[in-house]
Amino acid sequence: MAAYIFGVVLFALGICVSVALHEAGHMVTAKMFGMKVRRYFVGFGPTVFSFRRGETEYGLKWIPLGGFCDIAGMTALDEVTPDESPRAMWRYKTWKRTVVLAAGSATHFILGFIVLYLMAATMGLPNFLGTPQVDSVSQCVQNSTSNQDYQNPDCAPGDPAPALSAGMQPGDVIVSVNGSATPTYSDVVEQVRPLSGPTEFEVRRDGDVVPLQVDVTKVARPVLDADNPDAPPKIVEVGSIGVTFPSTFQYGPVEAIGGAFTFTGDMFVQTWHRLLEFPERIPAVVESIFGAERDPNTPVSVVGASRIGGEAVEDGLWILFLFLLASLNFFVGVFNLLPLLPLDGGHIAVTWYERVRDALRRMRGKAAAGPVDYTKLSAVTMVLVLVGGAVVLLTVTADIVNPIKISP
């Protein structure tokens, strides 16, 4: 229990640090361009303490669930004093305002990359995409009653060794089986299971696609019942080629830079897919509140993520803990750039709308129009705030009454 509580607190602290750095990104870039930053606070609610350095007040508030950076004149509707007016944010060039607004998300991406690099250089990066890169090629395949027998067979002369005999090597990436693409190792397993006999494989090796003919062998394997995971495994005959796939990718300190960059790109793609799937998964969250089994792919709140982080530490799964922390930073960073008010992406969209609109007006010989009237967008903003608040309430409730668990 102590390890679980430590994990929950540590993950929550990681989130607080992420939020603090997000707001620091806004502050640092605003000051760099000469904008007036009035206040920088971590948290909300009553003030714990504050102090002033130069023209900016810094402080900590009691509720560590956010923070804010108060930049004078973020919109033309903000009240500014006469001495602040020349340095009001809305008066600056479009690209400078964009940099300041995007700096918060940029800090999430940088922090996520740093976490991934540290993982790559120490414990390895998880093969979360299921890349079918061959980790090892077995000397034989045999009937087995356990995963231990499968991964470490006691080979005898004459035992079949399909992958080894075909010339498959560690590091090969299996790209197709019998002409069917296999982007993940689950696809490889699904394609191979029903097969027996000579089969056409394609592997990517040193950038080239190499065709191989593998004599798939039928062997007995234990298979868990997906509908009843507590039941003893069934012994069934399946096709096997005698390879294993890595659960993590290991790197040296230098190679970890490239590995982390590649993994970061994959994370951006996966994050975007999760955002597109987000609305259709909300009904499952509602159903879980009323007793339905919680789908592990449903959205979680900060509460749920912290609980999972606590379980990961309790089970010694630090790779999961750090991966979850990096994932959360990428998700928040991308989500915050969506062109919706009151998100930073919404303010960026308004800024560039003004720029394009004024460019079109100049082409027609007209003077530039004034700043966008945010009061006309207040109704849309309020609707989005209410929807966002409702989603947060639903996910927090689900994470309390029916949380996603990683432990049995």
Indicate if the pLDDT at residue 408 is higher than 90: no
Task: Note the pLDDT tens digit of each residue in 73-130.
Answer: 988 788 889 998 999 998 999 999 999 999 999 999 999 999 999 999 999 998 877 8
Which listed residue (23, 202, 311, 354) is catalytic?
Answer: 23
Residue 132 corresponds to which tokens in the numbers above? 């079918």
Indicate if the pLDDT at residue 146 is higher than 60: no
The whole-number average pLDDT for the span 362-383 is 83
The reported pLDDT for the residue numbered 226 is 57
The reported pLDDT for the residue numbered 278 is 87
Q: What is the rounded CA–CA span in Å between residue 216 and residue 177?
A: 11
The reported pLDDT for the residue numbered 258 is 93
Task: Note the pLDDT tens digit of each residue in 185-241.
Answer: 889 999 999 999 999 999 999 989 999 999 999 888 777 665 665 667 777 888 999
Q: How confident is the model at residue 2 (pLDDT cuts 50, 70, 90)?
A: confident
The whole-number average pLDDT for the span 138-160 is 73
Indicate if the pLDDT at residue 183 is higher than 80: yes
The reported pLDDT for the residue numbered 315 is 86
Question: Percent of the chain scored above 70 by pLDDT?
Answer: 95
The reply to whether 277 belongs to the active site is no
The reported pLDDT for the residue numbered 298 is 85
Indicate if the pLDDT at residue 150 is higher than 70: no
Query: In terms of DSSP bridges, do strands 208-223 and 234-240 run parallel, antiparallel, or are they unpaired?
Result: antiparallel
The reported pLDDT for the residue numbered 225 is 63
Three-state secondary structure call for residue 288: helix
Q: How confident is the model at residue 247 (pLDDT cuts 50, 70, 90)?
A: confident
The reported pLDDT for the residue numbered 129 is 77
Task: Note the pLDDT tens digit of each residue in 308-339.
Answer: 888 888 888 889 899 999 999 999 999 999 99
Q: Which carries the bigger pLDDT value, residue 60 or residue 157?
A: 60
CA atoms within 13 A on the CB side of 310: 19
Q: In what order do the strands lie in the sheet with 173-177?
A: 180-181, 173-177, 197-205, 208-223, 234-240
Indicate if the pLDDT at residue 152 is higher than 80: no
Give the least confident one: 59-63, 154-158, 330-334.
154-158
The reported pLDDT for the residue numbered 381 is 84
The reported pLDDT for the residue numbered 200 is 94
CA-closest candidate to residue 149, choices 219, 95, 52: 219
Q: What is the rounded CA–CA span in Å between residue 32 and residue 40?
A: 15
Terminal alpha carbon distance of the chain? 15
Q: What is the mean pLDDT of the chain?
A: 88
Which residues are paired to 42 by β-bridges? Answer: 60, 67
Query: In terms of DSSP bridges, do strands 173-177 and 125-126 run parallel, antiparallel, or are they unpaired?
Result: unpaired
Q: How confident is the model at residue 365 (pLDDT cuts 50, 70, 90)?
A: confident
Instruction: Yes or no: say if 350 and 372 are a contact pair by the CB < 8 Å rule.
Output: yes
Q: How confident is the model at residue 147 (pLDDT cuts 50, 70, 90)?
A: low
The reported pLDDT for the residue numbered 97 is 95
CA-closest candidate to residue 251, choices 121, 116, 118: 121
The reported pLDDT for the residue numbered 371 is 81
The reported pLDDT for the residue numbered 205 is 94
Q: What is the rounded CA–CA span in Å between residue 211 and residue 134?
A: 15
Q: What is the rounded CA–CA span in Å between residue 374 and residue 372?
A: 6
Instruction: Yes or no: say if 321 and 312 are a contact pair by the CB < 8 Å rule.
Output: yes
Q: What is the rounded CA–CA span in Å between residue 78 and residue 72?
A: 7
The whole-number average pLDDT for the span 274-292 is 86
